[in-house]
Amino acid sequence: MAAIKDKAVMVEAARFPLLEQVDLPADLRRLAPEDLPQLADELRRFLIESVSRTGGHLAAGLGVVELTIALHYIYDTPRDRLVWDVGHQAYPHKILTGRRKRMDSLRKKGGVSGFPRREESEYDTFGTGHSSTSISAAMGMAIASSCQGMSRKVVAITGDAAMGGGMAFEALNHAGASDMDLLVVLNDNDMSISAPVGAFRNHLARVLSGKLYTTVREGGKSALSHIPRLSELMGRWEEHMKGMVMPGTLFEELGFNYIGPIDGHDMETLVTTLTNMRSMQGPRLLHVITQKGKGYKPAEGDPCVYHGVTPFNLETGKMDPKPVGATYTEVFGDWLCDAAAGDERMVAITPAMCEGSGMVQYSKRFPDRFFDVGIAEQHAVTLAAGLACEGMKPVVAIYSTFLQRGYDQLIHDVALQNLDVTFAVDRAGQVGADGATHAGSFDLSYARVLPNMVVMAPADEDECRRMLQTAFEHQGPALVRYPRGTGPGVAVGKQLQTLPIGIGEWRVRGHQVAILSFGSMLEKALEAGSRLGASVANMRFIKPLDEELVLQLADSHELLVTLEDNVVQGGAGSAVNEFLARAQHPVMVLNLGLPDRFIEHASGEQQLQESGLDPDGIVQAILQRLSGDEVPGAPVAVKAEFGI
Residues annotated as catalytic (active site), given as ranges? 292, 377, 405
7-15: list long-range contacts, CB under 8 Å, 24+ apart: 15/42, 15/45
Distance CA 118, CA 115 (A): 10
Distance CA 271, CA 254 (A): 26
Q: Name the DSSP class of 117.
A: -
Residue 273 Cα distances to 202, 208, 224, 249, 487, angstroms? 9, 9, 28, 19, 52
Distance CA 134, CA 184 (A): 9
3-class secondary-structure state, position 479: strand
Distance CA 172, CA 344 (A): 40
Q: How far is CA 166 from the centre of its chain?
A: 16
Judge whether 545 and 502 are in contact, CB under 8 Å.
yes
Give the number of other CB atoms < 10 A from CB of residue 424: 29
Q: Name the DSSP class of 111.
A: S
Phi-psi region of 564 (alpha: psi -120 to 50; beta: other; left: phi over 0): beta
Q: State the DSSP string of 223-248.
A: HHTTSHHHHHHHHHHHHHHHHHH-S-
Half-sphere exposure (Cβ direction) of 483: Cα atoms closer than 13 Å: 24
Distance CA 356, CA 377 (A): 15
Task: To the nearest 10°, report the CA torsion of 410, 416, 420, 426.
Answer: 20
Q: How far is CA 82 from the centre of its chain?
A: 19
Judge whether 286 and 70 are in contact, CB under 8 Å.
no
User: How many residues appear in the chain?
Assistant: 644
Distance CA 136, CA 170 (A): 8
Output the CA angle 271-273-275, nearest 5 degrees: 65
DSSP-assigned beta bridge partners for residue 430: none
- The reply to whether omega before 261 is within 30° of 0 (cis) is yes
